[in-house]
Structure 1
Amino acid sequence: MKSKIFAFCPLLFLLLPNFFPSLFSPLSRAFPSLLSEWNAPKPMHLNLLNGAMQRVIFDDYRSRVWSPLPDQGLKPCQDFSKSQNLPKRSRGYIQVFLDGGLNQQRMGICDAVAVAKILNVTLLIPYLEVNPVWKDSSSFTDIFDVDHFINALKDEVYIIKELPAEYSWSTREYYATGIRATRIKNAPVHASPSWYIEDVLPVIESYGIAAIAPFSHRLAFDDLHPDIQHLRCKVNFEALAFVPQITALAGALIDRLRNPLSAKRKGEHMNKLEGMNGIEAGKYIVLHLRFDKDMAAHSACDFGGGEAEKRALAKYRQVIWQGRVLNSQFKDDELRNQGRCPLTPEDIGLLLAALGFDNNTRLYLASHKVYGGEARISVLQKLFPLMEDKKSLLSADERALIDGKASLSAAVDYHVSMQSDVFISASPGNMHNALLGHRAYKNLKTIRPNMVLLGKLFLNQSMEWSDFQQAVADGHKNRQGQIRLRKKKQSIYTYPAPDCMCKGRLQRLFGGLTSLVQ
């Protein structure tokens, strides 16, 4: 027991300053070498930063970066309802227990509906597991409009809110207390429909019900009947709608982003707005900053925090992953050349500035808990002084509705992101993937950072701003929402064409579009 306690001590030491900053601040001043990880990181690209601060954006260029995407010849398929008819009787019941964050669970919900269709069974509204990191216990009905969900799919799959009385024993608690014949624990990642027919259907036929846990990425993306693919599209893009509480809160954020001068603000914020001229009327960009300590440590890159930060991240890798991080074998310049370093707030700010967004841009930060805190974000704030987040735009009472509820907060950000004129994510992840696909489905502008190009550019410490600006513009011409056809093994939720999108009104598209950007 003592050995376990001592083994936990290094992790505890690393985490304490995050929870008790007032206690550790005096210690860091008294013993700077002890806690110097929390010193403010320095800008890494001063030469580029100076150029970006003095940038001048001409009207035609400003108009171009905000202009919507042209019609790409693909539209959401209108014949989703033409799938196989719903059989008169269901073979039994299926439950799924979804782990991960909101956007991973969203994809799991779509897969669960597809599996229920494949097996011709009734789906119980999916159970959302409590995420061990975020510790959010929000249920499906807290996030999604369950009546809309069931009604939108009523001609496709049988879906119920509660199990019949004879199956009321089949609960999460029941499966957590022992080995159960009705629980499927070995569902392979990206399982084929035949696996479900051969391994899950017999359990349902024997017991009337089967529960699959875990259920994340448990259905293949390839070699499925077009009707099943279309059903997944229908679930993701039509059946999953947020509850009114979420859309109302997101709507308030959107209104305040689009109408900043009409919104009630603190005096300091109003002064900031009134001091700006030429604000792009009614437009805003959403930035999903994905730069937490886990990502920073796992990448093994240098982020401008000096030797103290390098040692702290190395120690964190040792505690969390026992040093088993492949990237740690390489030098920073090698990782950047390969595009394997996540973009910092400074990096993403320089990227946006080079693309043509000026300092009057309304920038909303979604899910932006950043390693290094305000000090790390300060450079981005200088480049985009009209930067906002939920804390700056919502009242204390409004924020209380989602405080401590990471899934609800993520849902609000998702809705705000879907309504934005431009969306950009600093690094790939589940939210990035979900929004990339959903916005492609709606033909909305979404910037995909060219990580390899940016890594090489940022290594050149002598590069002038004009050269950087030109290189960024050239390297991102075809990375602003142009539709890319899904390749084998890629997610249908990230790349909805050709499975979810058709040419013309009803024609399904399954190839022959070689002119599209791959």
Structure 2
Amino acid sequence: MHLQDDLPLPLQHLRCRAQYHALQFVSPILSMGLQAVQKLQSTGPYVAVHLRYEPDWIVHTGCLYDEATNAYMEKWASERNIQFQSNVTESDLRKQAGLCPITPQETAHILKALGVDSMTTIYFAGGAMNEGAKLMRPLHRAFPRHVVTKDDLLQSTIGNLASRPSVLAAIDYIVCLHSDFLMMTAGGNMGMMLRGHRFYLGDFKETFQPYGPALVPALLGPRPNLTHLGNLLAQQRMQKAQDPLDARRLLKFYDRPWECVCEKALPSATA
């Protein structure tokens, strides 16, 4: 437990006021983010997926995929004078341990196993490999109404800000925050902050991160059993929903700000 996660309640309340009320994105970024949200909501409920299938993340993990992806990774690393070294054995061990980034194809399988309809509007956040568009084709085929920030929603208004990753990340945050269902394919600070923020808002919109190691056997092969995969995912979601209250502070404060949520005692069964 971090010291910052075990402060007196008044200080924890102050942290929530600062984190979720006082701190705000600057007006131009907030306006663009809310504009994107309104466009998405105009067609009905939407799903947001924080897809951590990014070149720097893949190179860092040293995971290998198909020939096209590996060639793209080598080219990407070479252009930036980054050494990309891995071997099949090490990569296979990482995959079996659930340590490799979830691919677009695997993401499509997971969404389908969760029951997401193919015509659902899905917002893909994160620095996914838009330059390597062919690597994203499985998602394009599975969900033809997919949306990518800089390509679709804000093309006419984002202007020169499109070259600033921090601005794009801020827009991703706003759109993910207001989504009807948020799925993250990997951990990280942004995911932790979004989980806590959505929990604090209290509108009961689910935030879900699949636990990779348990899903590896079900995801192996070009056509996994979606029924089996769906059952595994349902178990993970149920376990998450039934986390014991006495284990709440096992999570970092910003991941689950319990102290800032009002609790109402349930009426006694004998009352």
TM-score when normalising by structure 2: 0.81
How many pairs were matched up? Answer: 259
The CA deviation at 1:476 is 3.2
* Structure 1: stretches of 5+ with no match in the other structure: 1-189, 191-218, 261-281, 506-518
Partner of 2:125: 366
Q: Does the residue aligned with 2:127 lie in a helix, a strand or coil?
A: coil
User: Is the 8 Å Cα contact of residues 215 and 229 (structure 2) preserved in structure 1?
Assistant: no
Partner of 1:241: 24
Which whole-Å deviations, capped at 9, do the CAs of 1:105-153 have from their partners, x for residues lacking one?
A: xxxxxxxxxxxxxxxxxxxxxxxxxxxxxxxxxxxxxxxxxxxxxxxxx
Partner of 1:514: none
Query: 1-side partners of 2:18 and 2:24: how far apart?
Result: 10
Pick closer, same or farther for the CA change 1:468–1:225 going to 2, 3 Å. closer
Question: Structure 2 counterpart of 1:344, which letter?
Answer: T
Partner of 2:71: 309
Query: 2-side partners of 1:479 and 1:393: how far apart?
Result: 32
Equivalent in 274, 287, 293 of residue 49 of structure 2: 287
1:346 correspondence with 2:105: yes
User: Is the 8 Å Cα contact of residues 450 and 476 (structure 1) preserved in structure 2?
Assistant: no
Equivalent in 182, 193, 196 of residue 423 of structure 1: 182
Partner of 1:252: 35
Pick closer, same or farther for the CA change 1:308–1:352 going to 2, 3 Å. closer
Pick closer, same or farther for the CA change 1:322–1:452 going to 2, 3 Å. closer
Query: 2-side partners of 1:481 and 1:238: how far apart?
Result: 29
Question: Structure 2 counterpart of 1:246, which letter?
Answer: I
1:384 correspondence with 2:143: yes
Query: 2-side partners of 1:292 and 1:249: how far apart?
Result: 24
Query: 2-side partners of 1:239 and 1:330: how far apart?
Result: 49
Pick closer, same or farther for the CA change 1:258–1:298 going to 2, 3 Å. same
* Structure 2: stretches of 5+ with no match in the other structure: 266-271
1:403 correspondence with 2:159: no
Partner of 1:492: 253
Question: Structure 1 counterpart of 2:65, which letter?
Answer: F
Structure number with larger C-alpha Rg: 1
Query: 1-side partners of 2:223 and 2:105: how far apart?
Result: 17
Question: Structure 1 counterpart of 2:53, which letter?
Answer: F
Which whole-Å deviations, capped at 9, do the CAs of 1:402-426 have from their partners, x for residues lacking one?
A: 2222222222221111111011122
Partner of 1:28: none
Partner of 2:269: none
Identity among equivalent pairs (%): 27
User: Is the 8 Å Cα contact of residues 302 and 310 (structure 1) preserved in structure 2?
Assistant: no
Query: What is the alpha-carbon root mean square deviation over aligned residues?
Result: 3.3
Query: 2-side partners of 1:371 and 1:479: how far apart?
Result: 32
Partner of 2:264: 504
Pick closer, same or farther for the CA change 1:462–1:402 going to 2, 3 Å. closer
Pick closer, same or farther for the CA change 1:222–1:438 going to 2, 3 Å. closer
Q: Does the residue aligned with 1:485 lie in a helix, a strand or coil?
A: helix
Which whole-Å deviations, capped at 9, do the CAs of 1:433-482 have from their partners, x for residues lacking one?
A: 11011112223311111111222322356743333333333333334797
Which whole-Å deviations, capped at 9, do the CAs of 1:186-216 have from their partners, x for residues lacking one?
A: xxxx9xxxxxxxxxxxxxxxxxxxxxxxxxx
Partner of 1:296: 58
1:447 correspondence with 2:208: yes
The structure, 1 or 2, with the larger RCO (C-alpha pairs under 8 Å, 6+ apart) is 2
Higher helix share: 2
The CA deviation at 1:362 is 0.5
Partner of 2:192: 433
Query: 2-side partners of 1:431 and 1:307: how far apart?
Result: 25
Equivalent in 231, 234, 238 of residue 470 of structure 1: 231
The CA deviation at 1:329 is 9.5
Query: 1-side partners of 2:73 and 2:170: how far apart?
Result: 36
User: Is the 8 Å Cα contact of residues 290 and 370 (structure 1) preserved in structure 2?
Assistant: no
Partner of 1:393: 153
Q: Does the residue aligned with 1:478 lie in a helix, a strand or coil?
A: helix
User: Is the 8 Å Cα contact of residues 344 and 426 (structure 1) preserved in structure 2?
Assistant: no
